[in-house]
Chains A and B, each alone.
Chain A
């Protein structure tokens, strides 16, 4: 009569998976770009539209690429953390203003402070699509060879940064 135990066995396995599932976020999309070169772009700067920036300019540096917008309320949550990181000075942050009005973006940086070395402007979101952006804010850690090493989706918390990104930064900067 051992076959009568089969339903119970199946159920126990199921409950195991469901329990693990409670800790996961079904809506988080992991990036397939990890370990691949950061998609190229050549976008105008927010501070000076006549000048442009591309990832190639940042070879040799470990840097954080933060996608944000003035209309994004969650971005305000991480702003303080970004300012702290920028003040510490060992990890430069470059921003990308995604599908936004440059005037509004400048206003936000003016009133809340500017953690970015520079911010580029992605008006139509094309570069965002290339980076697999689906919900700002999103941050990418890019190494000296221009390879994406980590992606953080959602507002960057101090805790999240210290635990997940900082160790990687230290290693990459060696």
Chain B
């Protein structure tokens, strides 16, 4: 009954989405207010029905309804309730429903916070988002229906053990909030192209939405990286896997977009750029969805592929992106040229920023798709992995980091190079000295470490000077200003984390009998044997490692070697002692003869800084959105209504 209701809700949602797109878009084109006013109610109804469908699927999982194919394939009666819930999006069909739900959420938010916008713009924005919803709902109903039934099975095949983790609860929803959030910027861009109206106020409207989506995506990627780190058992945090790249590319373009929007809002320039970046960011989100679900690339993250699905998404991509780019080609020249700016100015720095970010994104795209290009041309089969991406991406990022430090200090329209040099020279000198000396404290001097430190310190210097200038000038609080500086500081923190852990992490892979000890970077690990335990849906051998430092107890870590009951899959659960300046990471390997076990131990200095930096970036974004400029618009809307 409930699955049927869910299926029905999807169909109704599709009808609502069609209404939400056709009438408002036609109404805006023909200036028919009654048609345009259908946008909000239809959008809200669509979101509501998608939510109902999602609730039905979640209910099927929570109530162990093994007559639903999706539930049987991805759940298990003894799976803890929270994971039965997250299994709702643990499959291709379910995650697609999550995508659609989150699109409904963003659409609903747009209907709420758009009273200050002109009616035709609202109609177009909601209409475009409706078209995307139509595509997704059609895709689900035709090729990926989560509500398909089967004769009642005795039990399920269990959720992949890797996904049975708190990270799985948060990472996909937050990530999707980011991916899908760029659809709002996309819709704004198309609305501007269609109407031909693209000015500073358009930028001011779309900026908070875009920054919000970007903040979510930053957090989502950060969580994915952290989750991979503690879940996959080898201590890595980024593998340049196609799925990871699929999230990084929209992020890079999204970063360019939020900076470009700043220019368009403040100076009216970069309009064509901003529109193109908005289209590109969402296009990359869709492309990522395609890559992971079509079977075109092999990835640890891939869902089971099916040619029919791949073809549908590709067609959807072609229509949405191709259509927008066609619109761009014909209408971009009408958006006009903005204000003038000098060769050295904040604008030119931001333009350079755009180019560097796009080139970085291009290199990731090239590396990810190159094997496909070569294979499609019949020229053989190659692999492109971390060695390539690390070699190419890092040199592209370094000039970017330089810009992060100096850019915010450059004046709009015309920056004075002598002025910049005089403000920054002492900070630069200090950074160079510290960057050259600091590696010695960690033991080994490596050039890349000095470069990493220099970049990070340079950014900190830039932020410090920027903040100091503002405080001196007495200009008062600005959420936008401090948000920017906080986000830039986050970049520096992440750079330090990456530099430290890449250069100075250490590992031991040892055989340990009960009572054996091993010392790593001053920490002594003592193996106290394993104990057999029974989990809810697994059995495990749980090891105990007592950690001391200079005789003082630090912690006890309990890595496990699990066997999941439903699938028989073995799984190594690592145990980590988190710390601000280092992580102690342990994992059980295999049982060896004589009751000994192979144990892997890592000392990872400053690794949490990678993720703390990302959180700071996201917080910076959130802070920037809270600026009273955007709230003023809402207050005006409140007054207008009253």
Using a CB–CB cutoff of 8 Å, the interface residues on chain A facing chain B are: 1, 4-5, 7-8, 11-12, 14-15, 17-30
Q: Pick the contact of A15 from B317, B326, B329 — CB < 8 Å?
A: B317
Q: Which residue of A lies closest to B332 (CB)?
A: A4
The reply to whether A22 and B294 contact each other, CB–CB distance below 8 Å, is yes
The reply to whether A22 and B328 contact each other, CB–CB distance below 8 Å, is no
Q: Would A4 and B329 be within 8 Å (CB), given that A11-B322, A22-B314 are in contact?
A: yes
Residues of A within 8 Å of B381, CB to CB, are 28-30
Give chain B nearest CB distance to A141 CB in angstroms: 20
Q: Would A22 and B296 be within 8 Å (CB), given that A11-B322, A15-B314, A15-B322 are in contact?
A: yes
B307 within 8 A of A: yes
Give chain A nearest CB distance to B395 CB in angstroms: 23
Q: Give Cα distance in the complex from A136 to B583, angstroms.
A: 41
Leading 5 A-B pairs by shortest Cβ distance: A8-B325, A20-B376, A1-B333, A21-B296, A26-B298
Q: Give Cα distance in the complex from A7 to B290, angstroms.
A: 19
Q: Would A26 and B322 be within 8 Å (CB), given that A8-B329, A18-B290 are in contact?
A: no
Residues of A within 8 Å of B380, CB to CB, are 30
B72-89 residues at the A interface, CB under 8 angstroms: none
Give chain A nearest CB distance to B232 CB in angstroms: 20
Q: Which residue of B lies closest to A1 (CB)?
A: B333
B311-335 residues at the A interface, CB under 8 angstroms: 311, 314, 317-318, 321-322, 325-326, 328-330, 332-333
Q: Give Cα distance in the complex from A12 to B283, angstroms.
A: 13
Q: Give Cα distance in the complex from A22 to B326, angstroms.
A: 24
Q: Would A18 and B371 be within 8 Å (CB), given that A1-B332, A4-B332, A26-B297 are in contact?
A: no
Give chain A nearest CB distance to B460 CB in angstroms: 36
Q: Give Cα distance in the complex from A29 to B317, angstroms.
A: 29
Q: Would A4 and B372 be within 8 Å (CB), given that A18-B290, A18-B296, A26-B296 are in contact?
A: no
Residues of B within 8 Å of A1, CB to CB, are 329, 332-333
The reply to whether A26 and B372 contact each other, CB–CB distance below 8 Å, is yes
Residues of B within 8 Å of A5, CB to CB, are 329
Residues of B within 8 Å of A22, CB to CB, are 294-296, 307, 310-311, 314
Residues of A within 8 Å of B295, CB to CB, are 22, 25-26
The reply to whether B328 and A7 contact each other, CB–CB distance below 8 Å, is yes
Q: Give Cα distance in the complex from A4 to B298, angstroms.
A: 33
Give chain B nearest CB distance to A145 CB in angstroms: 25
Q: Which of A1, A19, A22 has the most CB of B within 10 A?
A: A22
Give chain B nearest CB distance to A23 CB in angstroms: 8
The reply to whether B328 and A18 contact each other, CB–CB distance below 8 Å, is no
Q: Which of A15, A17, A26 has the most CB of B within 10 A?
A: A26
A-B contact sample (9 more), CB < 8 A, given A8-B329, A25-B295: A1-B329, A4-B330, A8-B322, A11-B283, A17-B369, A18-B294, A22-B294, A22-B311, A24-B372
Q: Would A26 and B326 be within 8 Å (CB), given that A1-B333, A4-B272, A18-B296 are in contact?
A: no
Q: Give Cα distance in the complex from A98 to B330, angstroms.
A: 61
Q: Give Cα distance in the complex from A28 to B333, angstroms.
A: 46
